[in-house]
Amino acid sequence: MAGRLLFPPTCIGCRRIVAEPGALCAHCWPALRFIEVPFCPVMGTPFQYDMGEGFLSLEAIAFPPHFDRARAAVLYDGAARQLVRGLKYGDRTDLAPLMAGWMLRAGSELLREADMLVPVPLHWRRFLSRRFNQSAELGRAIARRSDVVFAPEVLVRRKKTKQQVGLRRKAREDNVRSAFAVPEKFKARIRGKRMLVVDDVYTTGATVGAAARALKRAGASHVDVLTFARVVPESADLDGDFLPDEGMHI
């Protein structure tokens, strides 16, 4: 009791005082926008209204991904942005279990079908400077609460890439091209397996796409993607980083 008085629990988003540890305050909770159906069955991009079964976003049609399906728990804005930044740059690894809980809900279908869970790896030099991999923290927390094998060792980042922040779609793809690889000793282990790649934020899909491509080249039969947050701007065009929520039946 004395500890609670001296060090009251604070909101995990903004540090306002809250009733219970590990909670969001009344200001941050409404700002967290969960991605619910309807959404694109391939990209996981939310639609404003139900387009009907089999309807794909324009992004899925114009830029077919190397992965099979992508899902995310929340939109990358407001409280979600603060959580991601806290985990990634503020050493708030205590946020990972809460964020992973929401990812479990969003990716329940993918997790039921997955054989292995693989976090997007950091280059060893970046890992040494940051001291932890935020994607691995999320992946480890998800694995603890599911039956999926956590296998961070089967995918490595073999070249140090530039930061993706500020790069457009084509530049992001060029930046991470051939960045990932499956070590030879693990190829037999993933051959024919269904892999689930975990990351913190899906922006253009360049990073997770490069990871999926490496896994499939090494023999994985199926690669899905699960992230905590998804960047979905209000509007964009075919030459930009993102696309509007429009599409067609196939």
What's the whole-number mean pLDDT along residues 2-23? 68
89 pLDDT tier (thresholds 50, 70, 90): confident
Segment 62-87, tens digit of pLDDT: 989 999 999 999 999 988 999 999 99
Domains and CATH numbers, the chain: 1-31 (no CATH), 33-249 (3.40.50)
Distance CA 81, CA 86 (A): 8
Quickly count helices (H) and strands (E) in the chain: 10, 9
Residue 242 is predicted with a pLDDT of 41
pLDDT at 18: 76
Nearest to 157, CA basis, from 126, 132, 186, 134: 126
pLDDT in tens, 193-238: 999 999 999 998 989 999 999 999 999 999 999 999 999 865 333 3
Going by pLDDT thresholds of 50, 70 and 90, the confidence category of residue 48 is confident
* Model confidence pLDDT, tens digit, residues 131-179: 889 999 999 999 999 989 999 999 999 876 656 555 565 666 656 667 8
Nearest by Cα to 242 from 46, 74, 84, 85: 46
User: What's this model's pTM, rounded to 2 decimal places?
Assistant: 0.85
Task: Look up residue 201 and give its two tokens.
Answer: 């934020």
Counting beta carbons within 10 angstroms of the beta carbon of residue 31, is it exposed (0 to 12), middle (13 to 18) or buried (19 or more)?
A: middle
pLDDT > 70 in the chain, percent: 80
**Is residue 62 within 8 Å of 238, Cβ to Cβ?**
yes
Q: Give the separation between CA 90 and CA 20, rounded to whole angstroms.
A: 21
Mean pLDDT of the region 111-122: 97
Distance CA 102, CA 33 (A): 11
By the 8 A CB rule, do 208 and 215 touch?
no
Element (H, E) at 54: none
Q: What length does the chain have?
A: 250
Q: Cα–Cα distance between 186 and 192 in angstroms, integer?
A: 12
